[in-house]
Amino acid sequence: MLQSEVFMSEIQTVCGIIVGMLCCGIVLFWWYLRHSESRKRELERLVRLRTLELQSMNTSLLQANTEIEQHIQTVSEQAWEIATINTQLQARNNELEALNRERNEFLGIAAHDLKNPLTTIVLSTELLKSNIAHMPEERVHERLRQIESTAMRMRTIISDLLDMNALESGKLTLRMDACDAVMLTEEVLAEYQERAAEKAISLELRYDAALMEQSYIYADFAKAREVVENIVSNAVKYSPLGKQVLVSLTSDLHTVKIAVKDEGPGLTEQDKAQLFERFTRLSAVPTGGEHSSGLGLSIAKKLVEAMNGKIWCESEAGRVLPTGATFIVEFPCAATLKAASTQHTKAFAYTIFPSDAF
Tell me: pLDDT of 341 over 60. no
pLDDT at 21: 82
Is pLDDT larger for residue 86 or for residue 133? 86
Could you give the 3-state DSSP secondary structure of residue 60? helix
Average pLDDT for 23-28: 81
Residue-by-residue DSSP string for 135-179? S-HHHHHHHHHHHHHHHHHHHHHHHHHHHHHHHHHT--EE--EEE
Is pLDDT larger for residue 158 or for residue 67? 67
Rounded mean pLDDT of the chain? Answer: 80
Give 305-323 pLDDT, tens digit per residue: 989 999 999 887 655 556 7
Three-state SS for 228-272 is: HHHHHHHHHHHCCCCCEEEEEEEECCCEEEEEEECCCCCCCHHHH
Is pLDDT larger for residue 31 or for residue 81? 81
**Angle, to 10 degrees, between the axis of helix 296-306 and the axis of helix 221-238?**
150
- What is the spatial distance between Cα 229 and Cα 297, in angstroms, rounded to a whole number? 11
Predicted confidence band at 42 (pLDDT cuts at 50, 70, 90)? Answer: confident
List Cβ neighbours of 162 (8 Å cut-off, separation of 6 or more): none
Tell me: pLDDT of 285 over 80. no
Average pLDDT for 172-190: 89
Closest CA to 224 of 127, 334, 325: 334
Which of 134-143, 218-227, 340-349 bottoms out in mean pLDDT, i.e. has the lowest? 340-349
- What is the spatial distance between Cα 196 and Cα 200, in angstroms, rounded to a whole number? 6
pLDDT at 321: 56
Q: Say what percent of the chain tops pLDDT 90.
A: 20
Average pLDDT for 272-299: 75
Tell me: pLDDT of 295 over 70. yes
Predicted confidence band at 108 (pLDDT cuts at 50, 70, 90)? Answer: low
Predicted confidence band at 331 (pLDDT cuts at 50, 70, 90)? Answer: very high
- What is the spatial distance between Cα 255 and Cα 217, in angstroms, rounded to a whole number? 8
pLDDT at 184: 93
Is pLDDT larger for residue 337 or for residue 16? 16
- What is the spatial distance between Cα 239 and Cα 234, in angstroms, rounded to a whole number? 8
pLDDT at 343: 43
Average pLDDT for 153-177: 74
Predicted confidence band at 330 (pLDDT cuts at 50, 70, 90)? Answer: very high
List Cβ neighbours of 201 (8 Å cut-off, separation of 6 or more): 236, 239, 241, 242, 243, 244, 245
- What is the spatial distance between Cα 275 and Cα 277, in angstroms, rounded to a whole number? 6
- What is the spatial distance between Cα 188 and Cα 38, in angstroms, rounded to a whole number? 115
pLDDT at 292: 67
Average pLDDT for 170-195: 87
pLDDT at 245: 93
Q: What CATH number matches the domain at 171-352, 3.30.565.10, 1.10.3720.10, 2.30.40.10, 3.30.1330.10?
A: 3.30.565.10
Cβ-in-10-Å burial (0-12, 13-18, 19+) of 337 comes to buried
- What is the spatial distance between Cα 98 and Cα 281, in angstroms, rounded to a whole number? 18
pLDDT at 351: 42
pLDDT at 350: 40
pLDDT at 150: 74
Tell me: pLDDT of 6 over 80. no
- What is the spatial distance between Cα 24 and Cα 60, in angstroms, rounded to a whole number? 52
